[in-house]
Amino acid sequence: MASPAVEVRDVSKRYGPLRALDGVSLSVEQGEFFALLGPNGAGKTTLISALGGLVRADAGTLRVLGRDVAAEYREARRLLGIVPQEVVFDPFFSVRETLELQSGYFGLRGNGAWIGELLERLSLGAKADANMRSLSGGMKRRVMLAQALVHRPPVIILDEPTAGVDVELRQALWRFMRELNAAGHTIVLTTHYLEEAQHLCGRIAMMKTGRIVALDSTRRLLADFSERVLRVKLESGALPAALAAGATVDAAGWHRIPVESAAQVETALARLREAGAAVAHLEVAEPELEEVFVKIMARQDAPAREDA
């Protein structure tokens, strides 16, 4: 059987009294588009740093495509491209020099063709010979992405790549990530934009205080923790008993009625009509990852869910 793209087993890391990682285990298969979610301070960046060798785990093992990140760090790092969360750059060099140097660190000389393609693909061609200092924040982020891809790693980890990035660039970035994923690259990302994770990622791990508190396919998490609801605001009349059973009402007078399918929406509206209630406003809300996230984070000492 092929090695998982990323395999983390019982990894712990303490900083003084703080348990940044507290027995984390997870595995990402090759070709997955995987999201690592959690509030600030949950341990996502520490976990990514441990995979990249920036942080040394106190206990446990981390592997990239079967290579141990400590014992076989050179092989592991060649297989891995990490885009760090903070925008950093070397002000001494131009964009092209930065990418040539990064290639060289991986022992790749004469990597100009691929660098040219990356520059083109990330719309950096016009700035190739500009000093890094002169670039906008969004451009610097794109250069960091190019730096992570310069050695064509099969596994790519992006730590909040879209934080503070405008809509256009964000969409371009995701298009590019989708293409890389379609070409066989495994992609792991962290983000606070949950709708991004919901639309892009097949599987999701959620972290809280150094632990994995949920780990499942996006579809199952949505099915288990969120639901399609019909929201109605009534002009007159009241909710019939048949609907009121499963419904809730908020302070603004919106009734929230769970519905499983479009047919049930019809049924619910028919019942409202029969009961003589007049609907002022109406909307159907699809299941949302944000709801899943909030529910999971609110659970106390939530046990980690294992993959089915």
Among 78, 141, 185, 203, binds other proteins (CB under 8 A): 78
What pairs with residue 25 in β-bridges? none
Distances (CA, A) of 297 to 22, 173, 205, 290, 301: 16, 28, 12, 10, 9
The verdict on 11 binding other proteins (CB under 8 A) reads no
Residue 117 structure tokens? 């393609």
Question: Of 234, 221, 304, whose CA–CA distance to 271 is shortest?
Answer: 234
d(CA 95, CA 191): 26
Find the binder of other proteins among 12, 25, 55, 295 (CB under 8 A).
55
Which range binds other proteins by CB under 8 A, 71-79, 204-212, 242-250, 285-293?
71-79
Q: Between the CA of residue 65 and those of 1, 147, 212, what are the distances in Å?
A: 12, 20, 21
Measured from the Cβ of residue 160, the count of other Cβ atoms closer than 10 Å reads 19
Question: Judging by beta carbons within 10 Å of its beta carbon (0-12, 13-18, 19+), is residue 278 exposed, middle or buried?
Answer: exposed
The piece of 82-90, 116-124, 242-250, 264-272 that touches other proteins (CB under 8 A) is 82-90
Beta bridge partners of 21: 13
Given 29, 93, 176, 209, the residue binding other proteins (CB under 8 A): 93
Among 33, 34, 89, 225, binds other proteins (CB under 8 A): 89
* Window contacting other proteins (CB under 8 A); options: 74-82, 168-176, 188-196, 254-262: 74-82
Site for other proteins in 94-133 (CB under 8 A): 97, 101-109
Bridge partners (DSSP) listed for residue 204? 35, 216
The residue behind tokens 């290579």 is 67
Question: Least separation, in Å, of the C-beta of 253 and other proteins?
Answer: 51
Per CB under 8 A, the list member of 1, 86, 252, 300 interacting with other proteins is: 86
59 binds other proteins (CB under 8 A): no
Is residue 147 classed as helix, strand or coil in its secondary structure?
A: helix
Site mask for other proteins (CB under 8 A), range 135-164, x = bound: ------------x-----------------
Question: Using CB under 8 A as the criterion, what x/- string covers residues 227-266 for binding other proteins?
Answer: ----------------------------------------
Phi, psi (5° rounding) for residue 58? -75, -35
Site of tokens 């998490």: 221
Residue with smaller CB distance to other proteins, 35 or 57: 57
**Residues engaged in binding other proteins (CB under 8 A):** 52-56, 73-75, 77-78, 80, 82, 84, 86, 88-93, 97, 101-109, 147
